[in-house]
Structure 1
Amino acid sequence: MEQGKFGAMVVCCILGVGQLVAWNTILTISDYYYQVFPEYHPSRVLTLVYQPFVLGTIFILVFMGKKKKNQKQIAIGYTIFFIGSLLLIILDVATKGEGTLLAYIFLCSIVACFGMANAHVEGAMLGELSFMCPEFIQSFVAGLGVAGAITSALRLVTKAVFDKSPNGLRKGALLFLAFSTLIEFICMLLYIYMFPKLPIVKHYYAKAESNHVEADETKITQLSNKELLDQNMGLAINLFLIYALTLSIFPGFLYENTGEHKLGSWYPLVLVASYNVWDAFSRYIPLSKHLKIESIKWITSCVLVRFLFVPAFYFTAKSADQGWMVLLTSLLGLTNGYLTVCVLANKPKSKYNVLETDALGNLLVSFMLGGIFAGVCLGWLWLIGTKSSF
């Protein structure tokens, strides 16, 4: 089974990219949406639209419980990602890039669908991969970071190519959306037709089925959501705090509260790219066991220390130059990706069956998404007492 392990890890990484590339596309072309919808705070509002649908869907999935395999749920999620990405292109072409209220409402509706797709994919994938092996989880979570790095790199390229051309910002955004749509199409096909047929994956699916049959025959009582949460409360709270802090700063603060600098319109793009590149890089660090934190106490300590980023960003935006802000943003991404993998790849206290790992995956993702939503809401506090930037 070790023979096909690397190939499966590559597929997991690509599926991780597909799980987040649609949403990262929205975040990364925010400068275009600020041009089209200047009065509607796109970066903040779209994030605020996205999160309730992610949270609402994941909570429904958690409380409905798990009665069958995840494959259908995940396939539905990737299909929604693909259709939604395609509709973004159709919307922009149909409206010719004009920022009408109706177009903005339609944009928000597509973003809401992305939220539902995220909830269908992320928790189910983590639950499914948890029953396989830690390397698969690490590869999938690393793919989430790679999605950000790829989208940021592509955005910088499209801006450089189209910056001086007429309607260049729109051309770059459309090319970007086309790339995102292609990635989602590939991921949809990969998961439906290739991933389940990999020998090592078939082995784990057979093992999961055997485990499920054995549990039914022996009448083993499945742990409830409350019992699973009690056993993994430290992991859940840490995930919540990691993303509450990160999303209170990224991306809204970086777009609206960092002032004007020598880089001009490139400045927010460079900041977002710095965050995404270091976030992606740091997700591979725990692949080395010597560099991975496994103690919950040490993880919690690192998570709490990260809250020093709040005063650090405030004073840097107020009085420091752009170099310090890039450094600080890079550190934010570095710690976010690293601690996320340390938490999600942490060995569970007990040996769970396949249904319990599915439920635990959804529970952990619900706390992570709750943290993201809390961070998005807290991000609006940066606007108190200021009209734009510090």
Structure 2
Amino acid sequence: MPLNDANDDSDKSKGKYVAIVVCWFLGIGCLFSWNSMLTIEDYYVALFPKYHPSRVLTLVYQPFAVGTISILTYNEAKVNTRRRNLFGYSLFFVATLLILVLDLATSGKGGIGTFIGICVISGAFGIADGHVQGGMVGDLSFMHPELIQSFLAGLAASGAITSSLRLITKAAFENSQDGLRKGAILFFVVCTCFLLFCVFLYAFVYPKLPIIRYYRSKAASEGCKTVSADLAAGGILTSDFEKQAEENPQPCQPQSNKELYLKNIDYAIDIFLVYALTLSIFPGFLSEDTGSHSLGEWYALVLITIYNVCDLIGRYLPLLNWVKMESRKGLMTVTFSRFLLVPAFYFTAKYGDQGWMILLTSILGLSNGYLTVCILTTAPKGYKGPEQNALGNMLVMFLLGGIFAGVTLDWLWLIGKGW
């Protein structure tokens, strides 16, 4: 692509719909492994009944995710985005394959050794997530808003797809011997194949899409150095952009991470609190603390599926302009109002029936998906490419920090119940 094509507005929409689909698939790949592990919690609860796997695995995952994204966010301006994302997707693939290998090697037997191995793989998922989620959101933050919305919808779709597949596999193997294990193995075979597909999709298809090439060229002309490898993969020479940056320096220095944080602190707090609240309830509370109802052993799976489907629906609602919320005060108000769900879930689990629990779970999912897209598409506006990339990484860091806080707070539901 010639240099002057970088400013050709006609390239903004070329291949947009293909890019939307590709971003959706890449979003699914970002959390497909982790959601698969969460969704087969019934298998792990049966395999490790004394270790609280629905809580422990999440608690192991998060420090690695938060630590990785914190380091990468601090060094964001120097990080090769292509290498970062390829490493993340590749690690997801390898770690998912290792779950299969571990289960087959141990013949599906429990024990502390197997559980430790699964915890190690959970930590690897956290490292991969810290690479991919921050890298992709940062990259898409300086592109068309529909691309980041599609990626975020893909994150939720991974949960909805894995939950649906789990219901199907559970029903298919319900009456067979060792049915839980057979369903889990089938689950991770599908997941492993899909993640290999995502590695090739990001490596060979994504960087060559016209709309992706356009926005990366624009970011490079604004001084963004993290996209050079991606531009080269898309067939664009970066030497022209470097020369242009030297000849036409930006009128002002890019804002530092501290300045970006101070100007967007409300968005950072919002996304942190959204996920702190959500993960204090999902999946641990929904898996272990909702009591026994007529759905029996299907109850927790149904609740998790409903949450994931509603989360996915919530991420598409902002596509309706009259529904999307961009008011900073409005987003803060809705974020804090969600904490009313805590006493609502407590009293419903204690006194209510499964209908009310399903309703509350639907509200939790819808509000989580809706606020995620509203915050992450509204915040990175009015900045140059390098600043939008940095802000996107920063917000994902707070998102993962909120998840870590949430899974820690989730243990409070166990107070007074004994271990």
For Structure 1 versus Structure 2, the TM-score category normalised by the shorter chain is over 0.9
Q: 1:167 aligns with which of 178, 184, 190?
A: 178
Change (3 A) 1:347 1:46: closer
User: Partner of 2:389 in structure 1?
Assistant: 358
Residue pairs, 1:255-266, within 5 angstroms: 255-266=287-298
Q: What letter matches 1:210 in structure 2?
A: S
User: Partner of 1:92 in structure 2?
Assistant: 103
SS at match of 1:250: coil
Shift of 1:348: 3.5
Q: Is the 8 A contact 1:232 1:348 kept in 2?
A: no
1:9-60 Cα offsets, whole Å, 9 max, x none, are 0000110000011110111001100111111100100000000000111111
User: Partner of 1:373 in structure 2?
Assistant: 404
1:66 matched to 2:77: yes
Q: What letter matches 2:43 in structure 1?
A: Y
Q: What letter matches 1:99 in structure 2?
A: G
Question: How far apart in 2 are the matches of 1:125 and 1:275?
Answer: 24
1:179-237 Cα offsets, whole Å, 9 max, x none, are 11122111111000100011221122222222224555526422111001011111110
Q: What letter matches 2:40 in structure 1?
A: I
Question: How far apart in 1 are the matches of 2:67 and 2:140?
Answer: 23
Question: How far apart in 2 are the matches of 1:11 and 1:132?
Answer: 14
TM-score, structure 1 normalization: 0.97
Question: How far apart in 2 are the matches of 1:9 and 1:349?
Answer: 20
SS at match of 1:163: coil
Q: Is the 8 A contact 1:126 1:137 kept in 2?
A: yes
My pick for the range that moved more, 343-352 or 221-230, is: 343-352
Change (3 A) 1:387 1:216: farther
My pick for the range that moved more, 110-119 or 59-68, is: 59-68
Q: 2:351 aligns with which of 319, 338, 347?
A: 319
1:242-266 Cα offsets, whole Å, 9 max, x none, are 0000000000001111111111110
User: Partner of 1:13 in structure 2?
Assistant: 24
Q: 2:49 aligns with which of 8, 29, 38?
A: 38
Q: Is the 8 A contact 1:37 1:99 kept in 2?
A: yes
SS at match of 2:51: coil
1:62-89 Cα offsets, whole Å, 9 max, x none, are 2224125411100100000000111100
User: Partner of 2:155 in structure 1?
Assistant: 144
Q: What letter matches 2:93 in structure 1?
A: F
Q: 2:219 aligns with which of 208, 221, 240?
A: 208
Q: What letter matches 2:394 in structure 1?
A: L
Question: How far apart in 1 are the matches of 2:92 and 2:395?
Answer: 22
Q: Is the 8 A contact 1:78 1:117 kept in 2?
A: yes
- Decide which structure has the larger Cα Rg and report it: 2
Q: How many residues align?
A: 387
Question: How far apart in 2 are the matches of 1:72 and 1:14?
Answer: 19
1:52 matched to 2:84: no
1:269-304 Cα offsets, whole Å, 9 max, x none, are 000001000001110110121110010111111111
Question: How far apart in 1 are the matches of 2:334 and 2:367?
Answer: 9
User: Partner of 1:267 in structure 2?
Assistant: 299
Q: What letter matches 2:404 in structure 1?
A: F
Shift of 1:349: 5.2
Question: How far apart in 1 are the matches of 2:246 and 2:329?
Answer: 37
Question: How far apart in 1 are the matches of 2:380 and 2:31?
Answer: 25
Change (3 A) 1:163 1:319: same
SS at match of 1:165: coil
Question: How far apart in 1 are the matches of 2:215 and 2:80?
Answer: 13
Q: Is the 8 A contact 1:146 1:280 kept in 2?
A: yes
Give structure 2 stretches of 5+ with no counterpart: 1-10, 224-241
Q: 2:378 aligns with which of 346, 350, 364?
A: 346
Question: How far apart in 1 are the matches of 2:307 and 2:282?
Answer: 9
User: Partner of 1:252 in structure 2?
Assistant: 284
Question: How far apart in 2 are the matches of 1:101 and 1:347?
Answer: 44
RMSD: 1.3
Give structure 1 stretches of 5+ with no counterpart: none
The sequence identity of aligned pairs, in percent, is 55
Question: How far apart in 2 are the matches of 1:34 and 1:347?
Answer: 40
Q: What letter matches 2:74 in structure 1?
A: F
Shift of 1:387: 3.5
User: Partner of 2:234 in structure 1?
Assistant: none
1:292-323 Cα offsets, whole Å, 9 max, x none, are 00101111111111000000000000011111
After superposing on structure 2, the runs of 4+ consecutive aligned residues of structure 1 that deviate more than 4 Å are 214-217
User: Partner of 1:305 in structure 2?
Assistant: 337
TM-score, structure 2 normalization: 0.90
Change (3 A) 1:68 1:47: closer
SS at match of 1:111: helix
Shift of 1:3: 3.6
1:116-145 Cα offsets, whole Å, 9 max, x none, are 000001111111111111110100001011
My pick for the range that moved more, 141-150 or 205-214, is: 205-214
Question: How far apart in 2 are the matches of 1:176 and 1:387?
Answer: 32
SS at match of 2:378: coil
Question: How far apart in 2 are the matches of 1:347 and 1:375?
Answer: 23
Residue pairs, 1:179-198, within 5 angstroms: 179-198=190-209
Question: How far apart in 2 are the matches of 1:145 and 1:235?
Answer: 20
SS at match of 2:108: coil
Question: How far apart in 1 are the matches of 2:321 and 2:148?
Answer: 15
Q: Is the 8 A contact 1:123 1:358 kept in 2?
A: no
Q: What letter matches 1:56 in structure 2?
A: G
Q: Is the 8 A contact 2:142 2:380 kept in 1?
A: no
Question: How far apart in 1 are the matches of 2:340 and 2:209?
Answer: 45
User: Partner of 1:125 in structure 2?
Assistant: 136
